[in-house]
Amino acid sequence: MKPKPRRWWPVVKALLGLAILGAVGWRFGQDLARRELYEHPVRWEWLVLAAALYLASMSLSALYWRRLMIHLGASPGLIPCLRTYYISTLGKYVPGKAMALVMRIGMIRSEGVSASLAGITTFCEVLTTMGAGALLATGLFVVFGPVAPAANLWDTVVGLVRLDLSPDHPVDRWALVVVSLALAGVTLGPIFPPLVNRLVDRFSSPLARFGPVPRLRLRWLIEGLLRIMPAWVLMGLGVACAFEAIPGAALPWTLPMLGRLTAIMGLSYVAAFLLWTPGGLGVREFLLGLLLAPELMGRGDEEWVSGRVVLAVLLLRVAWTVAELLAAGVLYIVPCPSRSSAEGSREEEKKTM
């Protein structure tokens, strides 16, 4: 007799964990091997602050994910949701990024959430988070975008999309607005409730055997955008902290500057997400380096500016990766009884009364 699939689940979980740790460890080792980390003095307290801001920004997305599940009739606990969210985030470092989705669905089922509901809400939360970043970047670039010498708008947009702009190519606000708005459309289009619900109505018959098909509401999407946009502001502050960590590279903490940093991070992060590189590797660094370099122009020669920008981006990556690992490790170790265990304990207490 063949063993039941669930007997293999502990082995599968162990292999998945090893794959994730291997991917994160490889990337972390690559970062630590970069000589830029050791060529300049670094004020590490600013990186601790950047890491804390990043974890706070993640919590806003996690809380919206839980809110979305509650909207659809589930009732997962707060701590299990946070634990699932932070731990499953490590799955993004595995090529394909599907691992994060698989982990989140598998972990939250202990809270009585069906796989279909967990999958739908995860899909909506991720795209809402990305859409919020792209929309916020669009507005911020309109107001605080860089003023660069006139250049061909179409050539600049195409160069940004293809990631082949040279460092000396001027990038003005309108090219960034066009790209950010396009990213917002790509991320929010698949979860726009009127469109999604119409498709669900059309194909509801084949899906009926899996149970009731949930319907999304526009106000839930608007709620998510408003809840998550502050998370991108926190990430923009994290970029400012990374520059503060490098002596001589600190940027002014003014509203226009922080607005640009938030917009640059939003565009870079969302673009990296859509290009499906593990953890946004390479894509995010290229765009951050290209768009942040003009902020340091005039303080030194091209080599000095390039070195400080590369170091700031690298330090930010290291700080955020360490924050993810520590948060996931702590939440994994801390006891977090599942809903089924808690309900069983309550039943035993009732029997003994």
Return the percentage of the chain with pLDDT > 70, whole number. 76
pLDDT band, very low/low/confident/very high, at 197 (cuts 50, 70, 90): confident
Q: How far is CA 47 from CA 5, 107, 336, in A?
A: 44, 30, 29
How far apart (Å, rounded) are the C-alpha atoms in residues 305 and 310? 9
Asked if residue 195 has pLDDT above 90, the reply is no
Every domain of the chain and the residues it spans: 42-333
What mean pLDDT comes out for the span 277-299? Answer: 80
How far apart (Å, rounded) are the C-alpha atoms in residues 148 and 179? 16
The model's pTM = 0.83
Residue 164: how many other CB atoms lie within 10 Å: 10
**Which of 292, 274, 300, 171 has its CA nearest to residue 238?**
292
Sequence-distant (≥ 6) Cβ neighbours of residue 6 within 8 angstroms: none
How far apart (Å, rounded) are the C-alpha atoms in residues 238 and 261? 9
pLDDT band, very low/low/confident/very high, at 40 (cuts 50, 70, 90): low
Q: Model confidence over 44-93: pLDDT tens digits?
A: 999 999 999 999 999 999 999 999 999 998 989 999 999 999 999 888 87
Secondary structure class of 325 (helix, strand, coil)? helix
What is the model's pLDDT at position 343? 47
Q: Model confidence over 111-141: pLDDT tens digits?
A: 888 888 888 899 899 999 999 999 999 999 9
Range from 38-47, 136-145, 306-315 carrying the lowest mean pLDDT: 38-47
